[in-house]
Structure 1
């Protein structure tokens, strides 16, 4: 009997937290099938065309959405019978309606949430859009506080530097619809420092063989691009020294080597625009748990 055309697992988020790296690592596994495109965004849509976001670059992004059910199901048709099938849309974790749709239509799917220090994630998000020529605000803190204005103007979710990092609230809501036993939380820092071991943990969660992925491909991080003419507060920040309260990964956007490192790091910058100061409402990953706690 043919299997239903649907995913067995979904990497649900978060954006700029290592989802592309994990997706690419799983794609190397012979027991895994991943979709093309990587981010179909189907469960954001509810069988309707995507919203007409009007932010810079949003119209182009909308062309990549797979919003018809038949087109979404067709993505999984090439999978072999022995393979678990997955897709990776990092905005599902942020989208409460997506939680409900996934729970209703995919009652057995396994979900993987990759989380990162929310300030580092937000800075990487800003740097991604700046490097692509879409973000026009050269100061990170000012751009961060433009979120409400940009939402009112109809910009897409990728511009929500703050909201995309509220993992505590997002996971709490997700657990109302999906059994926590079917949700595996991965920290970005673990992907960076223990890539093979972290991938094997995900494989065990998916019920497939371990020890078959020997590297994690570099993710889609953008190289640091200095904002021309920016004030000193927008200079490239440095990561703090390693320790229990350190961030999950450097926030600069430079691709880190996916191996353990014990090298010392310079101290974080100080000043009004340092991204080390949590913004109101943000949450921070706990060094002792896989979820996060609100500041």
Structure 2
């Protein structure tokens, strides 16, 4: 059986909690670890078609499992990933959780700082992001992409080029955090599965910030994302008033 759903983003948008909740469903086989990183693995696709046996080795389904999935948040962001996913399974169902891109960027920077991969201030990291993000794919850096990952509209349109909107479920990070049972019912309905029993809110991979974002930093990020927030409201028919709070 092919892997038939992915939690594909966004990073720091609650994907770890969602992955943990889905592991409690008796019909779902999640990957042996979170973040398989198959469809964003450039080496795996260097010679064309990848070896899917390597991918399938990351799963251990049993006779009770009717659905197989995994959670790798970078799939939403990584430019070649949607096409690779479509070539593997054109019927793939894709789940995305979107977070206020301003808060997402700060959470991302805090995570990389805690890991020791970031050594400059948040403001400096934002101002110099483009010049620091030169890799094989222009401006797609796995560490320094603090603002670039927050331009969700481009990532959604890229996914919708290969998959119908009916094959994507887009959730709000805030709702997953405050109303997990309501949000998880959307997920199980989307996957065609029985609802999960009542769950208690989970906080997974929570990192305590050493400081709060300054007003100056928040205003800088709002100037970067103001038009993007408006586009997300248009695309998804969402009210993102709380994303504009500065």
What TM-score results when the alignment is normalised by the length of structure 1? 0.71
1:110–1:290 distance in 2 versus 1, CA, 3 Å: farther
Structure 1 residues not aligned, in runs of 5+: 51-66, 227-235, 238-268
Match runs of 1:1-295 below 5 Å: 4=1, 6-45=2-41, 48=44, 68-137=51-120, 139-152=121-134, 156-226=141-211, 236-237=212-213, 270=215, 272-274=216-218, 277-280=221-224, 283-284=228-229, 286=233, 289=237
Is the Cα–Cα contact under 8 Å of residues 29 and 65 in structure 2 kept in the other structure? Answer: no
**What number of residue pairs does the alignment pair up?**
232
Structure 2 residues not aligned, in runs of 5+: none
Is the Cα–Cα contact under 8 Å of residues 4 and 93 in structure 2 kept in the other structure? Answer: yes
What TM-score results when the alignment is normalised by the length of structure 2? 0.84
In 2: Cα distance, 1:9 partner to 1:71 partner:
17
Q: Larger radius of gyration, structure 1 or 2?
A: 1
Higher helix fraction: Structure 1 or Structure 2?
2
SS at match of 2:74: coil
Shift of residue 144, structure 1, vs aligned partner: 1.4
Shift of residue 68, structure 1, vs aligned partner: 4.5
1:276–1:146 distance in 2 versus 1, CA, 3 Å: closer
Computed over aligned residues only, the root mean square deviation of the Cα atoms, in angstroms, reads: 2.7
In 2: Cα distance, 1:35 partner to 1:144 partner:
34
Is the Cα–Cα contact under 8 Å of residues 31 and 60 in structure 2 kept in the other structure? Answer: no
Q: Give the stretch that moved more between structures: 16-25 or 209-218.
A: 209-218
1:211–1:276 distance in 2 versus 1, CA, 3 Å: farther
Shift of residue 279, structure 1, vs aligned partner: 4.3
Cα-to-partner distance string for 1:207-237 (whole Å, 9 max, x where unaligned): 11114241242121211124xxxxxxxxx13
Cα-to-partner distance string for 1:53-86 (whole Å, 9 max, x where unaligned): xxxxxxxxxxxxxx75222112234343433110
Cα-to-partner distance string for 1:7-60 (whole Å, 9 max, x where unaligned): 11100101001111111111111121110221111111266279xxxxxxxxxx
In 2: Cα distance, 1:101 partner to 1:41 partner:
12
